[in-house]
């Protein structure tokens, strides 16, 4: 009994049973799954890098380490006042005692404040081209115990690493795409070779070259479509599983409110892209082979 087909087209049986290698669909499924996963991973890493860059870049913290609470508070207030007057500073936020205690609680426990002296912290953000050196000098003049942490420069190495990973992933995606095209091309070439007699017969019966190429276009497109739908499905399910596991971690690497699910929709276009690549490859190869006959 014949297996029902997902899609039919008028000439699908003109060449008899599918002349294409039956493994083509599975190879395409594997390649598309790898490509889709690499694509999702690349987009996720890029999103994370952008998010971290937004968090760290142009963000600085004044840290006032002073044993005397009165002097520490005075220096903090003066630093806040100075920062608020500077045009290159966008926002200033002095951390309250409760915020400080919450920050150190995971490391020092709930009663740390009574045992050790905590520094005063003032978070502020500057405009993209704000002069950090000038700001540091002005703060030092009014708060000699202050030191300045530039989160942008301390996170630069991490951001550079994430950029490198993203670049490498794009390289992997490109390589997989080339390998997919090569696999499709080899499978179609092998199918065309196995159908040489039929191709010559069709040509002698008066079939135009584009008509013969068209038969292979249909067959290739169908095989690639089946494979790429399966591959995309595997990739999407794997991605959803990964995201669920990452969100459920005790110290979440991803916060669910930071996840952008838009890239998952791009995966839906991969089968179409794969079919276009497959159909074009088949068309070119068959035309070239028919021309030689």
Instruction: Name the residue nearer to other proteins (CB basis): 175 or 210.
Output: 210
Give the one residue of 81, 160, 168, 201 binding other proteins; rule: CB under 8 A.
201
Instruction: Name the residue nearer to other proteins (CB basis): 215 or 225.
Output: 215
Instruction: Name the residue nearer to other proteins (CB basis): 16 or 109.
Output: 16
Give the one residue of 90, 140, 151, 198 binding other proteins; rule: CB under 8 A.
198
Query: For 16, left (φ over 0), alpha (ψ -120 to 50), or beta?
Result: left
Rounded CA-CA distance 44/54 in Å is: 15
Give yes or no for residue 186 binding other proteins (CB under 8 A): no
Give yes or no for residue 211 binding other proteins (CB under 8 A): yes
With contacts defined by CB under 8 A, name the span among 30-38, 143-151, 154-162, 195-203 that binds other proteins.
195-203
Instruction: Name the residue nearer to other proteins (CB basis): 20 or 79.
Output: 20
| φ, ψ at 168 (rounded to 5°) | -60, -40
Instruction: Name the residue nearer to other proteins (CB basis): 62 or 212.
Output: 212
Give yes or no for residue 292 binding other proteins (CB under 8 A): no
Instruction: Name the residue nearer to other proteins (CB basis): 48 or 217.
Output: 217
Asked if residues 146 and 139 have their Cβ atoms less than 8 Å apart, the reply is yes
Residues of this chain, 1-20, that bind other proteins according to CB under 8 A: 11, 13-17
With contacts defined by CB under 8 A, name the span among 100-108, 206-214, 250-258, 269-277 that binds other proteins.
206-214
Distance of closest approach, residue 219 Cβ to other proteins, in angstroms:
13
Asked if residues 135 and 18 have their Cβ atoms less than 8 Å apart, the reply is no
Interior/surface letters 19-35, b for 16+ CB within 10 angstroms, e for the rest? bbbeebbebbbbbbbbb
Instruction: Name the residue nearer to other proteins (CB basis): 91 or 210.
Output: 210
Give yes or no for residue 197 binding other proteins (CB under 8 A): yes
Instruction: Name the residue nearer to other proteins (CB basis): 70 or 204.
Output: 204
Give yes or no for residue 42 binding other proteins (CB under 8 A): no
Asked if residues 29 and 230 have their Cβ atoms less than 8 Å apart, the reply is yes
List C-alpha distances in Å: 292 to 196, 275, 287, 288. Answer: 11, 26, 9, 7
Give yes or no for residue 115 binding other proteins (CB under 8 A): no
DSSP-derived 3-state class of residue 30: helix
H/E element holding 150? strand 146-150
Sheet containing strand 89-94, edge to edge, reads 89-94, 120-126, 59-64, 146-150
With contacts defined by CB under 8 A, name the span among 78-86, 108-116, 128-136, 200-208 that binds other proteins.
200-208
DSSP-derived 3-state class of residue 109: coil
Give yes or no for residue 67 binding other proteins (CB under 8 A): no
Q: Determine the size of the site formed for other proteins (CB under 8 A).
A: 18
List C-alpha distances in Å: 86 to 79, 81, 141, 143, 202. Answer: 11, 9, 14, 16, 81
Give the one residue of 205, 248, 249, 262 binding other proteins; rule: CB under 8 A.
205
Rounded CA-CA distance 2/15 in Å is: 16
Rounded CA-CA distance 259/204 in Å is: 59
Using CB under 8 A, list all residues that contact other proteins.
11, 13-17, 197-198, 201-209, 211
């Amino acid at each position: 009994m014949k297996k029902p087909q997902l899609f039919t087209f008028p000439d699908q049986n003109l060449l008899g049973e599918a002349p294409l290698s039956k493994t083509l669909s599975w190879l395409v499924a594997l390649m598309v799954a790898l490509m889709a996963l690499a694509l999702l991973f690349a987009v996720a890493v890029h999103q994370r890098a952008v998010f971290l860059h937004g968090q760290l870049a142009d963000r600085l913290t004044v840290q006032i380490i002073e044993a005397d609470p009165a002097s520490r508070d005075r220096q903090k207030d003066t630093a806040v006042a100075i920062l608020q007057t500077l045009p290159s500073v966008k926002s200033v936020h002095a951390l309250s005692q409760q915020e400080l205690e919450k920050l150190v609680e995971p490391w020092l426990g709930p009663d740390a404040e009574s045992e050790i002296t905590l520094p005063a912290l003032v978070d502020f953000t500057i405009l993209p081209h704000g002069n950090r050196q000038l700001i540091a000098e002005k703060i030092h003049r009014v708060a000699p115990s202050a030191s300045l942490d530039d989160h942008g420069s301390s996170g630069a190495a991490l951001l550079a690493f994430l950029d490198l990973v993203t670049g490498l992933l794009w390289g992997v995606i490109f390589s997989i795409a080339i390998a997919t095209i090569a696999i499709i091309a080899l499978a179609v070439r092998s199918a065309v070779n196995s159908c040489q007699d039929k191709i010559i017969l069709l040509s002698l019966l008066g079939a135009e070259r584009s008509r013969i190429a068209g038969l292979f276009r249909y067959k290739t497109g169908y095989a690639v479509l089946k494979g790429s739908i399966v591959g995309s499905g595997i990739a999407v399910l794997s991605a959803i599983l990964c995201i669920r596991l990452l969100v459920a971690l005790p110290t979440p690497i991803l916060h669910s409110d930071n996840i952008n699910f838009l890239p998952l929709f791009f995966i839906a276009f991969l089968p179409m892209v794969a079919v276009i690549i497959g159909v074009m490859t088949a068309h070119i190869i068959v035309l070239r082979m028919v021309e030689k006959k």
